[in-house]
Structures are given as C-alpha cells and as structure tokens.
C-alpha cells in the first residue's frame, strides 16, 4: 500500500494558521473592548456621582466658584463619556468585522478538511481495488500454473 499524499496539504495548513491567527486577534480585540468598556463604566459612574453631588449642593448655599467647578467637572465627564462611547463603538465594529473574518476563515479551513477526507476515502477505495486486482492476478496465475 502506498502512502497517502494530499496535494493541497500546504493550503490546508495555511488556512488553519490563518484561522488561528484571526482567532487570536479577535481575542485581543475582545480584551481591548472589555477594557474600554470598563473605562466607560468608570466615567458613567463618576458622572452619576457628580450629578448626585451637584443635586445635593443645590439645597445649600454655595460659593459661585464651587458651583462653577462642579459644572466644569460634570461637563468634562460628559465629554469624556461621549468620547469613550465613540471608542467603544469603534471597537465593537472592529470586533464584528473580525468575527466575520474568523467565520469565513473557519469555513475555508473546513472546506479543505472535507476535501482531504474525501480524497483519503477515494485513496482507500483505489488501494482496495489495487489489492483485489493483485489477489485476483495471483489466484489466476496459480490456477494457470496447475
């Protein structure tokens, strides 16, 4: 029996490496997204605290500078929250794009795997036929000799 050689083995290995690389990049993007969401949550929490603090100040008499400072801090936190939402949205889009790339790479890899399996099954059948022919020939030669 001869050795099975899959002519597209290099292509299959390349597809598998591409899939693994894209999967790794997707994990990195997901980690980055989680980190940026934590930052966003921090801004939102700080903004809520400042808003609550500002409402508490409204019941008392304040110095104009304190009021101005609180307003500036709230405005700053609103701006930072808005900017962070943009960052998170950008990363979410990037993550979705990579998910599609990973899915496509997986499909391509699976196509080549199935093709390899099919070629291997064909190889096994061809080997069975060859073996049967050899056996038939050996039997025929034996009976001819008698």
Question: For the segment 32-91, what is each residue's pLDDT rounded down to a tens digit?
Answer: 999 999 999 999 999 999 888 777 666 566 677 777 888 899 999 999 999 999 999 999
How high is the pLDDT of residue 141? 79
Q: Domain containing 93: what range?
A: 9-107
Q: Based on the number of CB atoms within 10 Å of its own CB, is 56 exposed (0-12), middle (13-18) or buried (19 or more)? A: exposed
pLDDT at 93 over 70: yes
Tokens 């304190």 sit at which residue? 66
Let me know if residue 127 belongs to a domain: no
How high is the pLDDT of residue 135? 87
Let me know if residue 84 belongs to a domain: yes
Domain count, the chain: 1
Let me know if residue 15 belongs to a domain: yes
What pLDDT band is residue 1 in, cutting at 50, 70 and 90? low
- Quick check: pTM over 0.85? no
pLDDT at 27 over 90: yes
Let me know if residue 94 belongs to a domain: yes
Let me know if residue 2 belongs to a domain: no
Let me know if residue 39 belongs to a domain: yes
Let me know if residue 80 belongs to a domain: yes
Identify which has the larger pLDDT, 119 or 57.
Answer: 119
Let me know if residue 21 belongs to a domain: yes
């Amino acid at each position: 029996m001869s050795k099975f050689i899959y002519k597209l083995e290099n292509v299959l290995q390349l597809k598998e490496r591409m899939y693994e690389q894209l999967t790794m990049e997707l994990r990195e993007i997901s980690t980055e997204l989680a980190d940026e969401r934590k930052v966003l949550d921090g801004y939102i929490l700080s903004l809520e605290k400042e808003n609550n603090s500002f409402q508490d100040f409204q019941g008392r008499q304040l110095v104009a500078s304190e009021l101005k400072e609180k307003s500036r801090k709230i405005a700053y936190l609103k701006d930072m929250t808005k900017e962070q939402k943009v960052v998170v949205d950008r990363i979410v889009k990037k993550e979705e794009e990579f998910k599609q790339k990973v899915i496509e790479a997986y499909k391509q890899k699976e196509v080549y795997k199935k093709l390899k399996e099919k070629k291997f099954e064909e190889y096994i059948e061809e080997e069975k036929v060859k073996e049967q022919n050899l056996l038939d020939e050996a039997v025929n030669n034996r009976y001819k000799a008698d």
